[in-house]
């Protein structure tokens, strides 16, 4: 590992760097949006289509690439991320000369990933994380990764930075959006499912890889990819662990998005109950909206309300996972770990994630309003996505199929997810019945015509 001993920890260590790099980007976005003095938006591809007549919202590629705004944003993105990450690498003691060309090539591969994952048919079901892994894996398992590209493969650095930026979009005010009903469905169930999967994975299936167990448990019970990224980083999960947890979650999300509304309809459940069940169990937010919509407008709103509470949980769960792993898992003896040791082991970037969330929720939102925070998050979301695409492309480039197969532990990991998800559905169903059926409490009324 590269180290530069003359640089203070705050500037030279990856965890702290993720915080200040993340906050520089957050500050840039805040100043740009609030003053409207300049535009710091990152580049993104709009949906495009290959001979897809139904893609009414698709923007032809020629039109996208022909616009100066696209190229200006591309230059801004490369400059912002390139300068900040290069500075980070320099302070870590790495070679800037080697990093810059490698970063530029990695960015081009990431650009291809974002281009592919913006295609109408491809982006309906599979998120960019999947395409990043796939394209990275294809390169590393066919032509191989040249040595000169390796200095840019800094998966954890990109993930941690992306998470700090993401923290700004985790708005704590959402906690009361669905009152005690929402809190009961989202927050009572989620930790129980995590603990159940922890017990099943570590005690029953005897899976030694604890970071993989907690990453998979969080992906199952909280909200798929984003929760997996946050808890994976908090627990020190390996790149293969993250690939496995996210791949399983993505595939099952597709199945649940289609079959869960069908089963709910067949069971004759009310829209409110069905929507809340979907919001509490389907992993990706996009799939939650679509599955809720399949049941009706009330179901869609109920699903979104429950999911928005789950989205807040990411920060708290990542924080507690970091504390748990620092105090209980990452130790060699049964001796009690001192505060100093815990602090040394604690992944500091989680503090940045948390701070960003608190600043957005309790300072910026009350001061500047929800609209301004939403506009800032529109800018930040793209930087978060770029950081994660760079990370997942790096994972793909740094992984081979054999390693992934080995980490599946002969199928135990798959069954851990399946049993955990069934438990999640059963427990959420009970919570939904208990709170929303009208048998015990009054049925809440959603005002859909606001």
Partner 1 sequence: MASGKEKAFKVVTIVAVVAILACALWIMANKMGLVQGYDFGAGAYYYADIPGYDEIAKEDVYKTSVPYWVHVVLFLGWGWLMYRLWIWIDKRK
- Residues numbered 88 to 147 that lie near partner 1 (CB under 8 A) are 117, 121-130
Burial track 45-64 (b if 16+ CB lie within 10 A, e otherwise): bebbbeeeeebeebeebeeb
Comparison of 14 and 283: residue with beta carbon closer to partner 1: 283
Query: From CA 234, how far away is CA 129, in angstroms rounded?
Result: 19
- Measured between its terminal Cα atoms, the distance across the chain in Å is 55
Comparison of 213 and 269: residue with beta carbon closer to partner 1: 213
Binds partner 1 by CB under 8 A, chosen from 20, 100, 191, 434: 191
User: Within 413-432, which residues bind partner 1 (CB under 8 A)?
Assistant: 414-415, 418
Helix residue spans in 325-361 (DSSP H): 339-345, 349-359
Look at residues 246, 248, 271 and name the one whose alpha carbon lies nearest to residue 261.
271
Contact between 254 and partner 1 (CB under 8 A)? yes
Q: How far is the CB of 202 from partner 1 (least distance, A)?
A: 8
Which of 70-78, 84-92, 360-368, 380-388 is the region at the interface with partner 1 (rule: CB under 8 A)?
A: 380-388
Contact between 60 and partner 1 (CB under 8 A)? no
DSSP label of 361 = I
Q: How far is the CB of 320 from partner 1 (least distance, A)?
A: 5
Contact between 289 and partner 1 (CB under 8 A)? yes
What is the pattern of x (binds partner 1, CB under 8 A) and - over residues 338-377?
A: --------------------------------x---x--x
Measured in whole angstroms, the distance separating CA 70 from the mean position of its chain's CA atoms is 25
Contact between 446 and partner 1 (CB under 8 A)? yes
Binds partner 1 by CB under 8 A, chosen from 258, 351, 358, 419: 258
Look at residues 102, 136, 41 and name the one whose alpha carbon lies nearest to residue 391.
136
* Alpha-carbon dihedral sign for residues 334, 338, 341, 345: positive
Query: From CA 10, how far away is CA 88, in angstroms rounded?
Result: 11
Which of 156-164, 350-358, 409-417, 420-428 is the region at the interface with partner 1 (rule: CB under 8 A)?
A: 409-417
Contact between 47 and partner 1 (CB under 8 A)? yes
CB-based contact 286:249 (threshold 8 Å): no
Binds partner 1 by CB under 8 A, chosen from 19, 43, 264, 305: 305
Comparison of 1 and 411: residue with beta carbon closer to partner 1: 411
Q: How far is the CB of 103 from partner 1 (least distance, A)?
A: 24
**Using CA atoms in the order 413, 417, 420, 422, what is the torsion angle rounded to 10 degrees?**
-140
Q: How many residues bind partner 1 (CB under 8 A)?
A: 88
Q: How far is the CB of 133 from partner 1 (least distance, A)?
A: 13
User: Within 217-246, which residues bind partner 1 (CB under 8 A)?
Assistant: 223-226
Binds partner 1 by CB under 8 A, chosen from 70, 115, 324, 433: 324
Query: From CA 164, how far away is CA 181, in angstroms rounded?
Result: 30
Contact between 50 and partner 1 (CB under 8 A)? no
Look at residues 381, 202, 233, 416 and name the one whose alpha carbon lies nearest to residue 314.
233
Compute φ and ψ for 119, nearest 5 degrees.
-65, 140
Contact between 293 and partner 1 (CB under 8 A)? yes
**Using CA atoms in the order 426, 431, 436, 441, what is the torsion angle rounded to 10 degrees?**
140
Which of 74-82, 84-92, 133-141, 187-195 is the region at the interface with partner 1 (rule: CB under 8 A)?
A: 187-195
User: Within 6-45, which residues bind partner 1 (CB under 8 A)?
Assistant: none
Q: How far is the CB of 75 from partner 1 (least distance, A)?
A: 23
Contact between 177 and partner 1 (CB under 8 A)? yes
CB-based contact 217:420 (threshold 8 Å): yes
Which of 303-311, 340-348, 358-366, 435-443 is the region at the interface with partner 1 (rule: CB under 8 A)?
A: 303-311
Look at residues 190, 397, 216 and name the one whose alpha carbon lies nearest to residue 307.
190
Q: How far is the CB of 333 from partner 1 (least distance, A)?
A: 15
Residue 48, classed as helix, strand or coil, is strand
């Amino acid at each position: 590992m590269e180290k530069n001993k003359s640089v203070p920890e705050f500037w030279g260590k990856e965890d702290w760097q993720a915080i200040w790099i993340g906050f520089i980007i957050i500050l840039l976005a805040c100043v740009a949006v609030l003053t409207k003095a300049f535009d710091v938006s990152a580049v993104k591809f709009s949906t495009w289509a290959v001979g897809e007549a139904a893609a009414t919202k698709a923007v032809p590629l020629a039109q996208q690439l022909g616009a100066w705004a696209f190229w200006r944003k591309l230059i801004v993105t490369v400059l912002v991320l390139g300068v900040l990450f290069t500075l980070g690498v320099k302070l870590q003691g790495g070679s800037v000369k080697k990093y810059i060309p490698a970063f530029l090539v990695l960015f081009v591969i990431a650009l291809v990933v974002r281009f592919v994952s913006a295609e109408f048919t491809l982006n309906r079901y599979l998120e960019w994380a999947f395409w990043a892994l796939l394209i990275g894996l294809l390169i590393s398992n066919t032509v191989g990764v040249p040595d000169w590209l390796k200095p840019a493969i800094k998966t954890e650095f990109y993930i941690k930075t992306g998470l700090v930026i993401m923290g700004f979009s985790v708005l704590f005010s959402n906690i009361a959006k669905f009152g005690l009903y929402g809190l009961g469905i989202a927050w009572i169930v989620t930790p129980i499912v995590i603990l159940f999967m922890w017990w099943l994975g570590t005690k029953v299936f005897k899976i030694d890889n604890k970071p993989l167990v907690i990453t998979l448990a969080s992906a199952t019970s909280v909200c798929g990819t984003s929760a997996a990224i946050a808890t994976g980083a908090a627990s020190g999960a390996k790149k293969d662990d993250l690939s496995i947890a996210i791949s399983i979650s993505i595939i099952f999300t597709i199945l649940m998005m289609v079959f869960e509304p069908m089963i709910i309809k067949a069971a004759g459940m009310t829209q409110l109950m069905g929507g809340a069940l979907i919001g509490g169990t389907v992993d990706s937010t996009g799939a939650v909206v679509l599955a809720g919509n399949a049941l009706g407008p009330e179901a869609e709103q109920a699903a979104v309300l429950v999911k928005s509470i789950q989205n807040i949980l990411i920060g708290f769960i990542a924080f507690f996972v970091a504390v748990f792993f620092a105090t209980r898992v990452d130790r060699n003896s049964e001796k009690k770990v001192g505060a100093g040791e815990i602090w040394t082991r604690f992944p500091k970037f989680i503090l940045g994630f948390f701070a960003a969330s608190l600043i957005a929720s309790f300072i910026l939102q009350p001061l500047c309003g929800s609209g301004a925070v939403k506009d800032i998050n529109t800018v930040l979301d793209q930087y978060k996505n770029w950081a994660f695409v760079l990370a997942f492309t790096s994972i793909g480039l740094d992984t081979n199929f054999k390693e992934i197969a080995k980490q599946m532990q002969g199928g135990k990991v798959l069954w851990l997810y399946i049993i955990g998800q069934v438990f999640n559905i059963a427990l959420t169903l009970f919570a939904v019945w208990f709170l929303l059926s009208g048998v015990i409490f009054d049925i809440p009324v959603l005002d859909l015509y606001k």
